[in-house]
Structure 1
Amino acid sequence: MVQIEQIFPSLTWRIRHEAMYPELPFDSVKLPDDFEGIHFGLYLDHKLTGVVSLFHRDSIYQFRKLAVLPSAQKAGLGSQLMAYILDFCKIQKATKLWCNARVNAKEFYFKFGFHETDRTFFKDGYDFVIMEKEL
């Protein structure tokens, strides 16, 4: 059973750390503006298994730190989180949704209609590209 609900920012940190940056210190997954964002948790059989965080300026939304525990990856849970935040953004009348995507995850975002921009960067050992979707 999968359930997605809004959660407190600090609940995202463990999942982010385990799924995205286990080699870095725990505090490295905390964002300076975490307490200004909207955070969602995906519960699989009542266990917090995936997270994503949304931030916005006016009608433009950015999602950050979409993460699913390694033991639950490749089961469609990230896709469920993505579909949820796309619906949420549409309800909020967002005009655009964007993210800093790891280059090796571009195909995942293409499935949801995101396109690459020409803006790229390197951080924490990973290559990133900014991807966006008009809503």
Structure 2
Amino acid sequence: MWPEKDFDFIKLKNDDEGTHYGLFEGEELISVVSIFIQGVQAQFRKLATLSSHQNKGYGSKLLNYVLSEAERLSVKRIYCNARIEKVTFYEKSGLSKTDATFSKSGKDYIVMERFY
């Protein structure tokens, strides 16, 4: 998602509090996502797929796995900060737009959520 940035750019202060998932094709890591659970709510962050492997269903597969894990762990609400141009992608997995929007690092976002 940020190939032009240094690796430190994508690090978050609380990365060690999350559970991090990766999807591999053979030995190659092609898609990643992190989930941060706080009580009955969870946020997933940093869903990204290598550009050479996009539009093949890998991101959807990984996202749907994380959504299932959240439900299994008794999460009642899961949300993300979705880039505006990816709203349709997240809607396909049952997330809905909220009224919360913001801009960061030159990109526009909307908070999307799903209730269980």
TM-score computed with the length of structure 2 as normaliser: 0.97
Q: Which has the higher helix share?
A: 1
Percent identity of the aligned residues? Answer: 43
- 1:61 correspondence with 2:42: yes
2:86 to 105, 111, 122: 105
Q: Distance in 2 between matches of 1:123 and 1:129?
A: 11
Q: Distance in 1 between matches of 2:105 and 2:26?
A: 32
SS at match of 2:3: coil
Whichever residue aligns with residue 48 of structure 2, its letter is A
List alignment gaps of at least 5 residues for structure 2: none
> 4+ runs of 1 displaced by more than 4 Å?
none
1:75 aligns with: 56
Q: Distance in 2 between matches of 1:86 and 1:103?
A: 20
1:25 aligns with: 6
1:52 to 29, 33, 46: 33
Alignment coverage as a number of residue pairs:
116
2:99 to 105, 114, 118: 118
1:3 aligns with: none
TM-score computed with the length of structure 1 as normaliser: 0.83
Q: CA deviation at 1:26?
A: 2.2
